[in-house]
Amino acid sequence: MKPVFRLSSASLHFGRPATAVRALSEVTLTIQPGERVALVGANGCGKSTLLRLLHGLATPTAGQVALDSEARQAMLFQRPHLLRMSVQSNIALGLWLRGTRWGEAKVLALAALERVGLVELAQRNGRKLSGGQQQRVALARAWALGAQVLLLDEPTASLDPHAKREVEALIEEFAQQPAAMTLVFASHNLGQVKRLASRVIYLEQGRVLADLPVHEFFSGPLLQLQYPAAHLFVKGELV
């Protein structure tokens, strides 16, 4: 199968060479279609930067990043950006920009809202929704556009427990649909990682220090022996 992402010694530095901040350093990894990959690590370890690199929002300073140009991608941030218009129009706009006629785009937008259980809010101003509702609208927008790859940056970090459960359930449902969606997400919630991921990548200071199947990351003997920093992180002992 053709990989969705292939990174070869990809590095990303910010600033002038003499005082550059190293955000990512020599990251090499491959993500296949249908994988559910969690990015974990302390604040500032490079999770968000890696997601932006995968989505083409940043260019590597060194190394290579190869993307599957045929795979449709969508990225969700902690706080989705919604325009000051109706929820329905926020979703329809993306379809219209892609070439769908406006009338048809609005019909498809309603179907997407029904998919996430928000059809009754179709005419509400998108900016007036709660955080959980905005994330569900963002997921509806990705679904309407036929996203095959979903990148998420702490998608439930600022939500209350009920909204977290709703958004997480939708993410899991999308990832398990018949045409398996590729999921790459950053999270500090290790319970969420256990529930959603099939693979865990642990980053520290811009480097990948561990890359394991989820069951081995949390309970396998290799973690403590081969990846002591990741083991301490899982135990909550890494500062």
Q: What is the pLDDT along the chain (239 residues), one digit of tens a residue?
A: 789 999 999 999 988 776 778 899 999 999 999 999 999 999 999 999 999 999 999 999 999 999 998 899 999 988 888 999 999 999 999 999 999 999 999 999 999 999 999 999 999 999 999 999 999 999 999 999 999 999 999 988 888 888 899 999 999 888 877 667 899 999 999 999 999 999 999 999 999 999 999 999 998 776 777 888 888 888 886 65
222 touches 212 (CB < 8 A): yes
54 touches 12 (CB < 8 A): no
Instruction: Note the CATH number of domain 5-81+152-235.
Output: 3.40.50.300
Rounded CA gap, 228 and 195, in Å? 23
DSSP 73-128: EEEE-SS----SSBHHHHHHHHHHHTT--HHHHHHHHHHHHHHTT-GGGTTSBGGG
116 touches 137 (CB < 8 A): yes
Q: Which amino acid is at 127?
A: R
Q: Which two tokens stand for residue 4?
A: 């969705």
Angle at alpha carbon of residue 67, lines to 62 and 72, rounded to 5° = 145
DSSP character at residue 234: H
DSSP character at residue 13: E
